[in-house]
Amino acid sequence: MTRITTRDGTGIFYKDWGAKDARPIVFSHGWPLSADAWDAQMVFFADEGFRTVAHDRRSHGRSDQVWNANTMDQYADDLAELIEALDLHDAILVGHSTGGGEVTRYIGRHGTARVAKVALIGAVPPLMLKTEANPGGLPIDAFDAIRKGTFDNRSQFFRDLTIPFYGYNREGAAISEGIREEFWRQGMMGGLKGQLDSIRAFSESDFHRDLARFDVPTLVLHGDDDQIVPIGASALETVKIVPNAVLKVYRGADHGLTETHQDRFNADLLDFIRA
């Protein structure tokens, strides 16, 4: 297995597909998943001539499960160490959900010297939690319920979560049991402690300052029926902060649109990268 060891001694698993001298696309996955969530995109873009890279966030997938340092700052630093270890330049960073927060915090902490473009997909910035300054966010009770469900019966909670995640509770939805099972498999590979910590990281991290540091072309893509990261407090606010960001809204689309709208998403991302 391909791994790097970070400065704090954590082993991070990653995939590196396609020609090593090609332009790199680096994918960051959502909670509670792994790099496997990006397999279809990695194959598609490698076939289009790109080098595709995706890692398992610490305490997720095949990476080491650590007790401490499951924070957004550390996730961003791990991403920086991976990019540096592979000596990637002119990279396109693509982050879904929590991965969008990871990419955003990476730019906030490490800048864009190695980055050409960014795509934030159903991403959590600028802030998910409802506060006085962020009245459109979700109340803390919503995240407490995620914590409780994950702690009490993680296996069942992950199975149940797939229903709103992929919009399978909407009229006319074509439910894929395979997608549901794969979500469960990836989630159960991770460590409970790290996944619980990650709920705080994705819900309470404030990305306003990070977004203000963006100085490369940015695509903000979101479904307007996203039941996990509602578009109003996320994508619609992000494009107000990032200079010249391109907003693309999928009507009626769910949080897991990289899978439920896979071909359309791949084509739109390719168009953005090649523009």
Catalytically annotated residues: 97, 226, 255
CA pair distance 245, 32, nearest whole angstrom? 27
**DSSP-derived 3-state class of residue 136:** coil
DSSP assigned state of 7: T
Q: What is the DSSP string of 212-245?
A: TT--S-EEEEEETT-SSS-GGGTHHHHHHHSTTP
- Residue (of 209, 253, 247) closest to 228 by Cα position: 253
- Residue (of 154, 152, 130, 134) closest to 142 by Cα position: 130
CA pair distance 273, 275, nearest whole angstrom? 6
Beta strands across the sheet bearing 11-17: 3-5, 11-17, 51-55, 24-28, 91-96, 115-121, 218-223, 246-250
